[in-house]
């Protein structure tokens, strides 16, 4: 599903990623781990087409992201990728239901509201449809964010520390949600939490911008 070849990224003189080669299979659940500054978030940004590599290429489902301009990238993201962030990043002026429906509305999907409602129910917030983000708890906001990421049925889900701002109970609920996608949606999860990483199909450890270790955890399936 995702191929990464000789991927490097530098900011001025600071080299953040060096010659990364990776591939991710369809439906695979991969965790990216490493200490702060190791390049996890940078790699996630490049994989998701949020940033441009200094050199190398990222190909998702046969499409090399570097060949797309900003507009085409936005369309590609809308059609193929889903995102979950540590800080939720919901639009504060839209209700929970509207936040979920947003990716479909942008594509003028006639079923947007119906599908958004289904996902709202699926993440257990059917009674929170008209609530604004500030009226929801952190865990609820993150569930809305996951529903928004999945409502357009993406092929790949990128999650950056999705439980980082949550207590353990809410973190567990979110993790269960993400794990339920295993086998259907390719998931790339950035985390500091070793226990969370251990539940992935494969764990890629980064250090100083390079891949330090790749370990498979088949038992987690």
Partner 1 sequence: MILARLALRELLRSSGKLVLPVLCLAVAVAAHSSTKSLSARILDSMNREARAMAGGDLEIGSPRPLSSESRALALAALPPGTETATVKEFLSMARDPKTDRTRMVEVRAVSGGFPFYGGVETAPADSLPLLEQDVVALAQPEITPQLGVTTGGEIRLGQATFKIGALVIHEPGPAPGAFALGPRIWISERALARTKLEQTGSRIRYRTVFKIEKVATDEQIENWKNMIDTILADPGLRVRTYKEANPQLRGFYERLTDFLSLMSLFVFLLAGIGVASSLQSHLRSRLATVAILRCVGASSRQILGIFLSQAVCIGALGSAIGVAAGALLSRALPSLLGQLVDFPSVSGAVASSGMVYIFSFGLGLAITLLFSAVSLVELPDVRPLRLLRPEDGIATPGWKKIVAGAASVLLLMAVGTVETGSIAYGGGTVAGIVAFGALVFGVIFALLTASSRFRLLQLPFALRYGTKNLFRSRAQSSLTIAVLSLGILLLASVQVLRGGMLGELTGAQASLRPQLFLIDIGDEQRAGVEKLLHGISRPARFNWNKLIRARMKSVNGEAVKREPDGNRDDAPANRSREYNLSERESLYAEAESVVGGKFWSAPLAPGGVPEVSVADTFADRAGIKLNDRILFEIQGVEITARVTSLRRVRWSTFQPNFMVLFRPGSLEGAPFQWITSVGGVSPAEKSRAQSELVRDYPTVTAIDIDEVTGRLLDVAGRLEAVVKFLSAFTLAAGLLILAMMAIENARARSPEIALLKVLGGTRSDLAAAVGWEFTLLGAVAAFAGALGALALGYGILRNRFGVEPNLLTPEALGLLALLVLGSAFTGLIASLRVFRVKPLETLRS
Residues near partner 1 (CB under 8 A): 41, 44-45, 50-51, 70-71, 74-75, 77-79, 83, 85, 87, 89-94, 98, 101-103, 105-107, 112, 148, 152, 160
105 or 167, CB closer to partner 1?
105
3-state secondary structure 66-120: HHCCHHHHHHHHHHHEEEECCCCCCCCCCCHHHHHHHHHHHCCCCCHHHHHHHHH
100 or 201, CB closer to partner 1?
100
Burial of 175 (0-12, 13-18, 19+ CB in 10 A): buried
94 or 129, CB closer to partner 1?
94
Minimal distance in Å, beta carbon 120 to partner 1? 15
Cβ atoms within 10 Å, residue 141: 25
Minimal distance in Å, beta carbon 221 to partner 1? 29
Minimal distance in Å, beta carbon 59 to partner 1? 19
45 or 139, CB closer to partner 1?
45
Minimal distance in Å, beta carbon 89 to partner 1? 5
Cβ atoms within 10 Å, residue 84: 26
Minimal distance in Å, beta carbon 141 to partner 1? 13
Minimal distance in Å, beta carbon 158 to partner 1? 10
- DSSP string across 8-40: EEEETTEEEEEEEEEEE-TT-EEEEE-STTSSH
How far is 133 from 153, CA to CA, in rounded Å?
A: 23
Q: Are 97 and 130 in contact (CB under 8 A)?
A: yes
86 or 170, CB closer to partner 1?
86
| Beta carbons within 8 Å of 9's beta carbon, 6+ residues apart | 15, 16, 17, 39, 42, 46, 51, 53, 54, 209
Q: What are phi and psi of 59, to 5 degrees?
A: -120, 125
112 or 197, CB closer to partner 1?
112
């Amino acid at each position: 599903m995702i191929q990464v070849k000789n991927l490097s990224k530098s900011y001025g003189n600071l080299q953040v990623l060096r010659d990364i080669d990776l591939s991710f299979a369809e439906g695979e659940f991969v965790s990216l781990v490493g200490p702060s500054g190791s390049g996890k978030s940078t790699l996630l940004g490049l994989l998701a087409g949020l940033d441009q590599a200094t050199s190398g290429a990222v190909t998702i489902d046969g499409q090399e992201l570097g060949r797309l301009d900003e507009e085409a990238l936005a369309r590609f993201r809308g059609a193929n990728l889903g995102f979950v962030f540590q800080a939720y990043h919901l639009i504060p002026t839209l209700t929970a239901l509207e936040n979920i429906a947003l990716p479909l509305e942008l594509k003028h999907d006639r079923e947007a509201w119906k599908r958004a409602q289904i996902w709202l129910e699926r993440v257990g917030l059917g009674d929170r449809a008209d609530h604004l983000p500030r009226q929801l708890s952190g865990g609820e906001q993150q569930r809305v964010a996951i529903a928004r990421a999945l409502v357009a049925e993406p092929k790949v889900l990128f999650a950056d520390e999705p439980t980082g701002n949550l207590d353990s109970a809410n973190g567990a609920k979110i993790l269960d949600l993400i794990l339920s996608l295993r086998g259907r949606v390719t998931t790339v999860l950035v985390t500091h939490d070793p226990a969370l990483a251990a539940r992935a199909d494969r764990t890629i450890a980064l250090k100083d911008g390079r891949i330090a270790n790749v370990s498979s955890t088949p038992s987690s399936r």
